[in-house]
Structure 1
Amino acid sequence: MDTRTEILTMCMVWDKRRDQVLLMNRPNRKGFPGYIAPGGKVDFPESIVDGAVREVKEETGLVVKKITYKGLDEFCDPEQGLRYMVFNYLATSFEGELLSEPPEGELLWVSLGQALELPMQDWFAERFPRFFQAGTFERSVIWEKSTGRTLKETFMVYSDSVLEQSEVK
């Protein structure tokens, strides 16, 4: 079977001084409607971090200055031969002005404590706190698209000296 891999990024922009994050409200026509962090496909042959910086600029107008790798979300569908990898980043320094007409949806600065009250996809609500936790994470999900069934899920958190792992079958 032929397989294909799609590489994407997601970058949470956090204004620590105001304790606010920048989210965009994606309309239904764009897929994944609701509030989400900026991100998208990595263009070949750009690096993954360069893809994250570019996506933030294209979708918000901001230029990321300080960015930290937070973790990987990977989704595999054996029936389609698809591996979908999302590299997650946290940006804590940036410059520029927000776009007046952003291409992916309305932009909103929202307090960290109120962000999860906004309408968003379940997978994004689950991922959201991980951007602000110590260490990096790795989540791998194998599922069958035809049945919507999760076959296996592995979640790991890495710190400087400790590896915590939980596995759900």
Structure 2
Amino acid sequence: MNMNYQVEIYTMSMVWNPVSDQVLLMNRPNHKGFPGYIAPGGKVEFPESIVDGAIREVREETGLWARQIKYKGLDEFCDPEQGLRYMVFNYLITSYEGELLTDPPEGELVWVPLRQALELPMQDWFAERFPRFFNSGTFERSVVWEKSSGRTLQETFKTYSD
């Protein structure tokens, strides 16, 4: 087994207003990568904690400060050819303060009714992950794939109750 591998740690945070039942999504342009509607998130900086990285990314991308944040689960992707393990820690934010940025760096910010969000154009992987933010408990998904062929070699998915 190759012991030389790289780990990249990211976060994704769904900002949800439970009173209006709306989620805050970014409409990312093509040149930013992952075009379409997506939740805020990004790379965790060393040595910050993962939850602090999630809070920082939401602040940088939206202008909002997370006040209540709940861990929802892990999406992990491993590519043995590249020696890469890519981990995304997912959070649900239900309380926040601040004003939305007028010129957000990652794309237009839009409050969308929760029941209509999946009708928007978005990456398939994000559409698959979206409901998991609102399911009870937490989840863990691990995928081993080959970038060169685009094939999934192995997948594990587990859910855990609260």
TM range, normalised to the smaller chain?
over 0.9
Q: How far has the Cα of 1:77 moved from its partner?
A: 0.2
1:140 maps to which residue? 142
TM-score by length of 2: 0.98
**What is residue 163 of structure 1 aligned with on the other side?**
none
Q: 2:77 aligns with which of 70, 75, 78?
A: 75
CA distance in 2, matches of 1:109, 1:125: 17
SS in 2 for 1:113: helix
Instruction: Kindly tell me the number of residue pairs found equivalent between the two proteins.
Output: 160
Structure 2: stretches of 5+ with no match in the other structure:
none
Correspondence list, 1:2-151, <5 A = 2-151=4-153
How far did 1:111 drift?
Answer: 0.4
Which AA in structure 2 matches 1:51?
A: G
Normalising by structure 1, report the TM-score. Answer: 0.94
Residues 69-97 of structure 1, C-alpha deviations (whole Å, 9 max, x = no match): 00000000000000000000000000000
* Map of 1:154 onto structure 2: 156
Distance, in Å, in 2 between the alignment partners of 1:28 and 1:143 is 24
Once the two structures are TM-superposed, the CA of residue 138 in structure 1 deviates from its matched residue by 0.2
Structure 1's consecutive aligned runs of 4 or more residues displaced over 6 angstroms after TM superposition are none
